[in-house]
């Protein structure tokens, strides 16, 4: 490769890094608001309802989320993968037809599942929860299923445009804010799990309407359409849908198992620990939402070098941003749990175990997503099925003996398997891995920062309460950032930071466009399109 061509490739790779950084920053900043909102909702429910009440609410929430994902029938991957391709080549009629297809598929399935749960609620309550009066909650969950599911379809459709503003606004800011507001109103009316969940249903109606409006502003839902390969899209989507169903079921598995095999109070304690432990993975989710349409577009256009660079950038940034949160959870579990109330602090050991499980998520890069976008969705589905079988078996074995700690250990084993398997599979099939030599920098900065925080808290005599948790967060954040800057930044790190601080010049934007990579607004790719097959190019 001659020098001008090499420079052109490097410009493209750095352009993708800038795009990833800009839109990931949007999702991360808004995601921080979203996480605070979700965290506040759990604190509110935990203090108002107690462990048992929060456990009952969490089981109804688990039923809603799992069933809503089940009803999508792969609509999410049809929209993110193929929808982003149609947008990338400027084929808006086919993009609109793709959206129609997903609404039709998901809408029918969601209504069927909702009706089934309405009818089966008494049987499920008696069979799995010993008649703990969960019937009203399960019926409210049935009402919420089509509302939540269609809202997800609308949000996934906005991601096809590779611009995350609408998604960030609705998902990360509006939804958690509305949930907290409606929960407060509902709890003021009646401080019960049923009232709190009714508030959630009302909030989801507002969120779904907002997501529909956001999509319609970007692309009017009604308008010209063109023929698409529906069978090919559905054939691709079903294994990916199975993967998503199993993934969502995994996320809600242990609250349900604890409620059935142990007690609702242990479900409540697990939910709080899980909410805290998921803070690092929220970063991974935000980055994945930007990575998925970008990587899909690059793969379908057979731009291997740019995909490799994007994959490694994604892995490095997710690890760098998430690692200090992991360090906080491992070193200060009691302090963080005290925010929910003193009776939640006995779950500190479980929080540490769950924190290590999340380490496998952000420590292996976007491997499952990459498996799916490279046409290996069936392999990803098989991985997930194996993981869920292992977790269920371990859960039935460990939860009756060890309660919440048994659930945390089972989840740790499953998460390790769920990320190490696709890591090996991506390497075997595509010779891709997320690691670079400079991973040692965030590791060193994270270890040093929690050491400094421990010393500050001990010298100040702050104990293990809420104040100590706040001080730990502040000290770790400042020291970690300072050490990263001191240890130095690589070219891609500087490109990403330059994009975030607005240093992208007009000349760079023009160079980016000339090389076939659109800037932040990314409208139409200038490279020759390939046939819109949902399989490998």
pLDDT tens across 37-65, in order?
888 898 899 888 888 888 889 889 989 98
pLDDT at 173: 87
Query: Looking at the predicted structure, is the pLDDT value of residue 532 above 70?
Result: no
Query: Looking at the predicted structure, is the pLDDT value of residue 311 above 60?
Result: yes
Q: Which residue has the higher pLDDT, 513 or 407?
A: 407
Q: Which residue has the higher pLDDT, 253 or 517?
A: 253
Q: Which of 133, 398, 124, 136 is nearest to 266 (CA)?
A: 398
What is the C-alpha separation between 259 and 93, in angstroms, rounded?
Answer: 48
Task: Classify 210 in phi/psi space as left (phi over 0), alpha (psi -120 to 50) or beta.
Answer: alpha
pLDDT at 21: 55
pLDDT at 20: 56
pLDDT per position as a tens digit, 230-250: 888 877 777 767 767 777 777
pLDDT at 273: 87
What is the C-alpha separation between 277 and 271, in angstroms, rounded?
Answer: 10
Token code pair at residue 508:
């760079």
Query: Looking at the predicted structure, is the pLDDT value of residue 305 above 90?
Result: no
pLDDT at 371: 82
The residue with tokens 């976008």 is: 373
pLDDT band at 160 (very low <50, low <70, confident <90, very high): confident
pLDDT at 469: 87
What is the C-alpha separation between 161 and 115, in angstroms, rounded?
Answer: 34
Query: Looking at the predicted structure, is the pLDDT value of residue 319 above 90?
Result: no
Q: Which residue has the higher pLDDT, 488 or 225?
A: 225
pLDDT at 525: 31
Query: Looking at the predicted structure, is the pLDDT value of residue 150 above 90?
Result: yes
Residue range 321-349: mean pLDDT, rounded: 86
Query: Looking at the predicted structure, is the pLDDT value of residue 289 above 90?
Result: no
Contact 70, 112 (CB under 8 A): no
pLDDT band at 530 (very low <50, low <70, confident <90, very high): very low
What is the C-alpha separation between 115 and 98, in angstroms, rounded?
Answer: 26
CA atoms within 13 A of residue 216's CA, in its CB half-sphere: 9
Residue range 78-92: mean pLDDT, rounded: 81
Stretch among 302-311, 341-350, 481-490, 525-534 having the lowest mean pLDDT: 525-534
Residue range 303-313: mean pLDDT, rounded: 77
Token code pair at residue 95:
């993009």
Query: Looking at the predicted structure, is the pLDDT value of residue 515 above 50?
Result: no
| DSSP type of residue 529 | P
> What percent of the chain is modeled with pLDDT above 70?
83
Average pLDDT, the chain: 80
**Neighbour-count burial of 194, counting CB atoms closer than 10 A to its CB (0-12 exposed, 13-18 middle, 19+ buried):** buried
pLDDT at 30: 65
Stretch among 304-308, 334-338, 487-491 having the lowest mean pLDDT: 487-491
Query: Looking at the predicted structure, is the pLDDT value of residue 6 above 80?
Result: no
pLDDT band at 84 (very low <50, low <70, confident <90, very high): confident
Q: Which residue has the higher pLDDT, 17 or 465?
A: 465
Contact 308, 296 (CB under 8 A): no
> What percent of the chain is modeled with pLDDT above 90?
27
Query: Looking at the predicted structure, is the pLDDT value of residue 512 above 60?
Result: no
Helices (H) then strands (E): counts for the chain? 21, 0
pLDDT at 198: 96
3 state SS for 417-473: HHHHHHHHHHHHHHCCCCCCHHHHHHHHHHHHHHHHHHHHHHHHCCCCCHHHHHHHH
The residue with tokens 């869920």 is: 388
Task: Classify 156 in phi/psi space as left (phi over 0), alpha (psi -120 to 50) or beta.
Answer: alpha
175-189, 262-276, 311-325, 362-376: range with highest mean pLDDT: 175-189
Query: Looking at the predicted structure, is the pLDDT value of residue 11 above 60?
Result: no
Residue range 411-433: mean pLDDT, rounded: 87
Cα separation values, 220 from 92, 214, 224, 230, Å: 10, 10, 10, 21
- Taken as a whole, the chain contains a residue count of 537
pLDDT at 26: 60
Using only the alpha carbons of the chain, give its radius of gyration: 23
Residue range 495-510: mean pLDDT, rounded: 46
């Amino acid at each position: 490769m001659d020098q001008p061509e090499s420079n052109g490739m490097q410009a493209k790779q750095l352009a993708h890094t800038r795009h990833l950084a800009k839109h990931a920053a949007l999702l991360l900043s808004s995601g921080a608001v979203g996480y605070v909102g979700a965290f506040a909702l759990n604190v509110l429910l935990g203090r108002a309802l107690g462990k048992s009440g929060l456990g009952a609410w969490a089981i109804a929430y688990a039923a809603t989320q799992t069933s809503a994902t089940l009803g999508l029938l792969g609509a999410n991957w049809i929209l993110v993968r193929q929808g982003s391709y149609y947008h990338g080549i400027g084929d808006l009629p086919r993009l609109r037809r793709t959206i129609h297809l997903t609404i039709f598929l998901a809408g029918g399935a969601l209504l069927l599942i909702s009706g089934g749960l309405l009818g089966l609620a008494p049987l499920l309550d008696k069979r799995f929860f010993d008649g703990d009066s969960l019937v009203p909650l399960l019926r409210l969950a049935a009402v919420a299923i089509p509302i939540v599911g269609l809202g997800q379809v609308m949000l996934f459709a906005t991601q096809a445009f590779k611009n995350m503003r609408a998604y960030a606004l609705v998902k990360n800011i509006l939804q958690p804010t509305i949930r907290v507001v409606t929960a407060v109103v509902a709890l003021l009316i009646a401080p019960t799990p049923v009232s709190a969940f009714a508030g959630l249903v009302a909030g989801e109606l507002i969120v779904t309407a907002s997501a529909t409006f956001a999509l319609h502003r970007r692309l009017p839902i009604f308008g010209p359409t063109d023929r698409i390969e529906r069978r090919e899209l559905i054939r691709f989507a079903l294994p990916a849908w199975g993967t998503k169903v199993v993934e969502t079921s995994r996320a809600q598995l242990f609250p349900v198992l604890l409620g059935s095999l142990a007690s609702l109070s242990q479900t409540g304690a697990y939910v709080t620990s899980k909410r805290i432990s998921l803070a690092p993975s929220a970063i991974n989710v935000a980055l994945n939402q930007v990575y998925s349409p970008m990587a899909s577009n690059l793969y379908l256009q057979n731009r291997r070098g740019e995909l490799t660079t994007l994959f490694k950038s994604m892995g490095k940034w997710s690890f760098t941003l998430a690692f200090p949160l992991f360090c906080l959870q491992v070193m200060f579990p009691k302090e963080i749990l005290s925010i929910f109330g003193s009776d939640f602090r006995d779950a500190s050991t479980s929080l540490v175990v769950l924190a290590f499980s999340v380490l496998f998520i952000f420590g292996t890069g976007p491997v499952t997503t990459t498996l799916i976008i490279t046409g290996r969705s069936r392999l990803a589905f098989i991985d997930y099925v194996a993981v869920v079988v292992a977790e269920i078996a371990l859960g039935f074995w460990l939860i009756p003996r060890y309660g919440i700690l048994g659930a945390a250990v089972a989840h740790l084993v499953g998460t390790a398997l769920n990320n190490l398997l696709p890591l090996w599979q991506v390497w075997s099939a595509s010779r891709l891995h997320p690691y670079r030599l400079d991973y040692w920098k965030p590791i060193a900065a994270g270890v040093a920062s929690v050491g400094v925080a421990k010393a500050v808290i001990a010298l100040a005599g702050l104990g293990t309460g809420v104040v100590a948790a706040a001080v730990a967060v502040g000290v770790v954040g400042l020291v970690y950032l300072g050490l990263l800057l001191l240890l130095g930044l690589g070219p891609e790190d500087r490109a990403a930071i330059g994009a975030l601080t607005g240093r992208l010049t007009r000349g760079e934007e023009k160079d980016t466009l000339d090389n076939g990579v659109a800037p932040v607004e990314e409208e139409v790719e200038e490279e020759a399109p390939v046939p819109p097959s949902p399989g490998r190019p």
